[in-house]
Amino acid sequence: MASFVEVAINLPQISDTYHYNLPEDLQGSVQPGSLVIVPFGKQRAQGVVLRRVEQPDVAKIKDIDELVDEKPALTAAQIALAEWMAEETLSPLGACINLMLPPGLSQRTDTLVRLNPDLELGKEALSTLEKRIVNLLQERGELRGRQLNASLRHVEWRSVVRKLARKGIVHTHAVLPPTRVRPKTVRKVALAIPPEDIETLPDPLSKVAKVHERRLHVLRFLAGEAGLVEPSWIFAQTGANNGDLKMLSEAGLITLRQAEVMRDPLEDTVYVPEKAPELTRDQTLAWDQIHMGCRKPSRDKHSTLPAAWRDRFRQDRTLPACRAGNTGSQEDRPNPCAGDFPHPPDDQALPLSLPRPGRCDPFAAFRRGTL
């Protein structure tokens, strides 16, 4: 009985899904989320099985070539999320599927070619290129596609290998290249001496007193920290630099080591803040200014103006409108630039938001609502 599946091609620019026939030898192995190799145009591409279908969209349908791994690469929830993302953001489904795949699986697959050990090979009926490929496999054993590319430069050998596979001379199957993902490590610092020995060091940490105090501050800071500390945090708290850490490490006062860190340190962690985070010196100074400003009582909006201008504002709220914006007779509306404005003292700069004497403010009428 024929069985069909819907496959999302694992290429970022492909937005549609395609139906493929599931061969009998893969009937019990392929399931939703499985990573498979399928013919796609003139190439073979990775794809993720989304679901089984009763009837394909087209009459002529291709077979799935291979199953990459028996374990599904995606769960049902990840497939549903990728489809929702593609629909909501109008993104290609292949690009959304690629986000769900574990690191290293989204690479192009390679082909592993090996000779059929159960076949007695007669080379008389083979072409020149077929004999060359068979000789390579006999001499070197099974080879990947990249190795064949290096050995058969500028030669289209893939169609020849497929022909040999149909004859039963070679076996081929898709393999994933080794993953390039490695554990993430960062440099961390720890105190190498007992904390009580910090104040009794026999030699100064530098001939310059300021540098000596800075490096001493690093040791004191590390003494108050539990475990390893990242250099960036040390720099922020003490003002130290890489040269300071290098000198302290060479003196045997601290240790520098590479520590593996989790890429998602908050995974499966319920984060409930219990106290305010510890701030650096610069952050503390900035927060003090913000906190002080928030606690000050509101002031008159003109209180920061020079006294002469402030008095004028409080006496006359109809300060100048632009003459070009006035309508009606001169008697109906006041002259927008009339009136002698008092000059502030020489040590008080004129505020930029007010018109200077002898000039009109073209926006004052809009602010007052008289235009």
247 and 190 share a domain? yes
**Alpha carbon distance 38, 7 (integer Å):** 9
19 and 90 share a domain? yes
pLDDT value of residue 213: 93
Query: Residue 24 sits in a domain of what CATH number?
Result: 3.40.1440.60
With 0-12 / 13-18 / 19 or more C-beta atoms within 10 angstroms meaning exposed / middle / buried, residue 31 is: middle
Instruction: Identify which has the larger pLDDT, 285 or 11.
Output: 285
Structural domain including 28 reads: 4-100
Determine, yes or no, domain membership for 282: no
190 and 128 share a domain? no
218 and 240 share a domain? yes
Chosen domain end from 152, 175, 198: 175
What digits encode the pLDDT tens for the residues 113-161? Answer: 888 888 777 766 788 888 888 888 888 888 888 888 888 888 888 888 8
pLDDT value of residue 354: 45
What's at 239, amino acid-wise?
Answer: G
Q: Of 79, 152, 154, 161, which is closest to residue 112 (Cα–Cα)?
A: 161
**This prediction's pTM:** 0.40
Q: Of 43, 47, 57, 42, which is closest to residue 4 (Cα–Cα)?
A: 57
153 and 204 share a domain? no
Determine, yes or no, domain membership for 275: no
Number of separate domains in the chain: 4
250 and 193 share a domain? yes
What digits encode the pLDDT tens for the residues 158-199? Answer: 888 888 888 888 888 777 666 666 778 889 999 999 999 998
Most confident of 92-106, 142-156, 178-192, 208-222: 208-222
Chosen domain end from 75, 100, 125: 100
Bridging pattern class, strands 110-115 and 143-144: antiparallel
Query: Residue 160 sits in a domain of what CATH number?
Result: 1.10.10
Determine, yes or no, domain membership for 269: no
pLDDT averaged over every residue in the chain: 77
Determine, yes or no, domain membership for 342: yes
Helix 128-140 and helix 158-167, axial crossing angle in degrees, nearest 10? 80
For residue 71, what are the CA distances in angstroms to 155, 180, 245? 35, 20, 47
Q: For residues 137 and 159, is the Cβ–Cβ distance under 8 A?
A: no
332 and 252 share a domain? no
Determine, yes or no, domain membership for 294: no
What digits encode the pLDDT tens for the residues 249-299? Answer: 999 999 999 988 776 656 666 767 777 778 888 888 898 888 888 876 655
Q: Which residue has the tokens 């340190």?
A: 265
Residue 335 pLDDT > 80, yes or no?
A: no
pLDDT value of residue 253: 93
3-state secondary structure of 299: coil
